[in-house]
Amino acid sequence: MTLRVLPPSPGQFELMVFAKPSEAKEPYKWVCSYQIDCSEPKHPLGLPENPFHFWGLHPKSKDLGVTICNPCEDVIVAENGALTFTFETSRPLLAMFQLFHLELSEPFSKKCLVSQIQDDQLGCHLLLPFWGYYRLSLFVKDQAGGSFQNAGNMFISCKNPVNHNELFPPNLGVHCGPGTNTKQNGLTNPSHVCPIIRTTTGKCNITFHTLWDMDIFTSLENTRLNNNLHSLDRYCFITYLEHKISLTVHLPESGHYKLSIFTKRKENEDFSHACDYVIQCVSTNRLLPFPKVYNAWGHGCILLQPRYGFLPAESWENFRVKVPGACKVLVIGPIKTELQLTKNKIWEGKVFTGTPGTILKIAVKFTPNSTTMDIVMSFKAQIIYENESSG
């Protein structure tokens, strides 16, 4: 056993040590005492409360399924206010993390932590907003049931806290990044294994392989977004391919975003939460949203051009789309433009956008004898300013 003593003030202290066998039910017995003379305390800020009476991994953490912690020092130093823990596990577990500091409220602490649950390891990413000491507690239980048990209490020292405005988005789920839950909801082989994605361009593309035929729903959030005229849901575009799905995200300004992914089987009615991603955007670009998509835009449809829902007014734009099973594809705007099918099974043509405010719609006929066409997507012509990017 290692016992580290941090006197809170100058003076003399008596340290008394009590012990008992781990399985014994009798009370602790006094073992020995030490006299400590502290002339100058090095750590004026007190330690975080720890009701579990031990630091590091639990002496029987292996029985709980947690085998290794990295980092594993007695005092883990977060030099720049950021820290990542990895706990290796001997079996799939459910996990909860709690972060404690004398100045940290429970609601605020949830913006400091991103957790990830995988079959063979648990991950925890921290951003620390205060100077001093923290306790990160890990609680685990088997997926089959039971109750959560404390498996470890990591002692953290932060010397350079992060800015309070640079913390993670609020209301993150327990399942961040790909892991056990995403696989249970039909998503495998992720392009981004880490739950935190950093982009310097304002763009990112996340792909998964799918285990069965499914529908995807996404939700993009940013609580600090200023002066945005369009719903953030228009900044994520879903493309269904054979046994694969692509989520393309374009962000309107810098900041931290929460991207939530939900899935459901075709035969089910309700969506299930698969995972959350944190997207850290440091780009100065103000990207435009994607086109508005309708129900007829289904699996196998691919938008090649244009990729933005707002097009320069009074201009000619190339339209290129893949629509499986289509017999005819039109772009309805100031004039109707029929797209032509190429040898590569791409419908393409040059379309005039019209005056500002003009709505352009892609319409598709799926059966030769049908007298109606399905609207699959719409765009809007407008004046594009210099600080808005459409390419």
Which of the 8 DSSP states describes residue 120? S
Q: What is the mean pLDDT of the segment spanning 357-368?
A: 94
Number of structural domains (the chain) is 4
CB atoms within 10 A of CB 66: 24
CB-count exposure of residue 46 (10 Å: 0-12, 13-18, 19+)? exposed
Domain residues for 14?
1-43
Short-list 329, 10, 282, CA closest to 166? 282
> Strands of 66-70's sheet, edge to edge?
66-70, 82-89, 121-127, 113-117
Mean pLDDT confidence for 57-85: 94
Q: With cut-offs at 50, 70 and 90, classify the pLDDT of residue 338.
A: very high
Among 52-56, 139-143, 193-197, 320-324, where is mean pLDDT lowest? 52-56
Task: Select the more confidently predicted residue: 248 or 165.
Answer: 248
Q: Residue 80 is which amino acid?
A: N
Q: Indicate whether 171 belongs to any domain.
A: no
- Are 247 and 222 in a shared domain? yes
Q: Are residues 62 and 150 in the same domain?
A: yes
- Segment 287-302 mean pLDDT: 92
Backbone angles phi, psi at 180, to 5 degrees: -60, -40
Beta pairing partners, 278: 196, 258
132, 152: one domain: yes
Triad 104, 107, 113: Cα angle to 5°: 75
Q: Are residues 309 and 324 in the same domain?
A: yes
The residue among 73, 99, 70 whose CA lies nearest residue 87 is 70
Phi, psi of 184 (to 5 degrees): -65, -25
**Nearest-angstrom CA–CA distance, 279 and 254:** 10
User: pLDDT at position 226, please?
Assistant: 59
**pTM of the prediction?**
0.88
Q: What is the mean pLDDT of residues 311-337?
A: 94
Same domain, 148 and 192: no
d(CA 187, CA 177): 11
pLDDT at 82: 95
Domain membership of residue 301 (yes or no) is yes
Last residue of a domain, one of 166, 200, 216: 166
pLDDT tens sequence across 226-284: 555 678 989 999 999 989 999 999 999 999 999 999 999 988 889 999 999 999 999 88
Whether the per-residue pLDDT at 322 is higher than 60: the answer is yes
Q: Do 50 and 32 have their domain in common?
A: no
How much is the average pLDDT of 27-39?
Answer: 94
**How far is C-alpha 168 from the geometric centre of its chain's CA atoms?**
9
| Residue 285 pLDDT | 85
Asked whether residue 150 carries a pLDDT value surpassing 60, the answer given is yes
Do 266 and 237 form a contact (C-beta atoms < 8 A)? Answer: no
